[in-house]
Structure 1
Amino acid sequence: MSDYDLIDADDVDTPGDEWEELDVSDDESDRIARVQDREFQEFRKRIKDADQFKVEASVFDDATLGALYKLVQDGHIRAFGGPLSTGKEANVYLAASDGDDVAVKIYRINASDFRAMRDYLDGDPRFEGIGSDKKKVVVAWTRKEFANLRRAQAAGVRVPNPIAVQRNVLVMEFLGSDGERAKRLNEVSVENPETAFEVVREYMRRLYRAGLIHGDLSEYNIVVHDDEIYVLDLGQAVTVHHPNSREFLERDCENIAAFFTRQGHDATGEDLLSYVVEPEPEP
């Protein structure tokens, strides 16, 4: 693994985006799903008849197909490919845009584990008033991930570039080549664990100073792409003002320190935590 250059953080927003409004009202994709026009019907049949989607009924409901149809109409998706990864809450698919591959993350409305989500939702003012409405929770969660990716980018952290969001569907930069996703840290041989650790801890500090805590950071959602380190899966990321933020941050630090210790670099969760929360020097 080669040395890694960090992204400059020249334009970081005010820490904490917990007051950002997340609009969960019906949008164009919901209306498309209700209006059964011929083009949408043909699009729905084409997707549902495709071999790679025949077992994905829990993912491709009509409203999700409406969201995909809208993203196609808007030019964000030109052709849809097979799955890159599958999970309890979401599947990620390869798709083609104009000239580039993109990753399309689809959160399940009916199959999402809302009990697992609850620790991250409770205490976040953006989710007040949503209650237990599954559709509203998942739509807000998806929009939250889009917003968190933009905030991480502004803080100088390498993440997949967020391209578009529609209902429970997020389109973002594809990290990989020739249709194969980038390797996670747990899947590669870390040639220089000290340098890689320094990059990850700096990313954690920049996220913290931008008001965000990943909340589920480990070697399973950090990838190597073009000899650079990227952080994935910011859907559950919380602001520093979340009531459980300290607990989440301490857990992230323990996970990262434990991984790099196994790679031969001496690290502790306590030291990493101290580095991450160190106050920014006065200008």
Structure 2
Amino acid sequence: MADDDFVEETEGAPGDEFEEIDVSDTEADRIARKRDREFAEFRKRVKDADQFKVEAGAFDDATYAAIYKLVQDGYVAALGGPISTGKEANVYAAEAPEGETVALKVYRVNASDFRQMRDYLEGDPRFEGIRGDKKSVVLAWTRKEFANLKRAAEAGVKVPDPIAVQRNVLAMEYIGGEDEAAPTLTDVTLENPETAYEVVKEYMRRLYDAKLVHGDLSEYNIVVHEGELTVIDVGQAVTTYHPNADEFLRRDCRNVANFFSRAGADADVDDLYAFVTRE
């Protein structure tokens, strides 16, 4: 067979119709690798920090990524130690770029009691159609607390100002001094329980006027700092359209009235309920 014949037969061989692919580095590749390295270094710093070693269950890769996104977005510059630990979430101190302290509430996706969470999410028109898996419930719960904080603040209720939310991490205002977070009502002696009771009554009414019921209000979810009362832990708060809203409100009234009655205030459960609902 002649050389010319061979060339003619091999032209158009399989693969010739494909364009050559450029596999050289692009600027996007270099940026992506740089971010991957920065994230890996960030995750290692957090993992190695003494204050987080005992809290490994609260930090999976997705949580590290959520905190790192808050850092990239300029909400957080440095992480501090734990403020409080709970069954579903831990709260940590953090430093914002401007230097002030903020609080990071980290919900544990694996450890959270998502069945109980569903009881508060189902019936809330803001979260209709949520999937039933644990991760979806916890992420919705975190967004719900952020939304509840915004609504409460807009209604004139003293709550930690919400700053940002990423997945299962909520950044919000830190309430407390340089050395420790603000104590709850259970840890202080009220000099004037009547005045404090009037403040809490007004908070409950303003929440209700804003179509919200706290759902777990008690002396354990109200903190005192510089003479002011602040309501915390509003993740379970439901709208007044929730099928169990009235039951939750009556429980809140019972908890609050009983505490302030023991503290020396003239507090009555039925009167408080009537005041809150304007009946």
TM-score by length of 1: 0.84
Deviation at 1:251, TM superposition (A): 0.1
Q: What's 1:195 paired with?
A: 195
Gaps of 5+ in 2: 1-33
CA RMSD of aligned residues (A): 1.3
Gaps of 5+ in 1: 1-34
Deviation at 1:227, TM superposition (A): 0.8
1:150 & 1:131 partners in 2: Cα distance? 24
Deviation at 1:36, TM superposition (A): 7.9
* Count of equivalent residues: 245
Deviation at 1:221, TM superposition (A): 0.7
8 Å Cα contact 1:127-1:137 kept in structure 2: no
Deviation at 1:207, TM superposition (A): 0.3
Q: What's 1:220 paired with?
A: 220
Q: What's 1:29 paired with?
A: none
2:55 & 2:132 partners in 1: Cα distance? 24
Q: What's 2:163 paired with?
A: 163
Determine which structure has the larger helix proportion and give its number.
2
1:58 & 1:130 partners in 2: Cα distance? 25
Q: What's 1:148 paired with?
A: 148
Deviation at 1:74, TM superposition (A): 1.1
2:142 & 2:116 partners in 1: Cα distance? 15
Name the SS for the 1:181 alignment partner.
coil
Name the SS for the 2:219 alignment partner.
coil
Deviation at 1:266, TM superposition (A): 2.3
Q: What's 2:109 paired with?
A: 109
Name the SS for the 2:248 alignment partner.
helix
Q: What's 1:120 paired with?
A: 120
- Give me the identity figure in percent: 68
Q: What's 2:53 paired with?
A: 54
8 Å Cα contact 1:48-1:54 kept in structure 2: yes
Which has more radius of gyration?
2
Q: Which residue identity does 2:226 align to in structure 1?
A: D
8 Å Cα contact 2:117-2:137 kept in structure 1: no
- Deviations along 1:84-116, one digit per CA (max 9) or x if unpaired, are 000011000011112200010001111101122
8 Å Cα contact 2:222-2:232 kept in structure 1: yes
1:82 pairs with 2:84: no
8 Å Cα contact 1:164-1:170 kept in structure 2: yes
2:151 & 2:158 partners in 1: Cα distance? 11
- Deviations along 1:219-270, one digit per CA (max 9) or x if unpaired, are 0010111211110011000000000000000000000000001001121111
8 Å Cα contact 2:117-2:141 kept in structure 1: no
Q: What's 2:174 paired with?
A: 174
Name the SS for the 2:57 alignment partner.
coil
1:154 & 1:129 partners in 2: Cα distance? 27
TM-score by length of 2: 0.85
1:243 & 1:234 partners in 2: Cα distance? 18
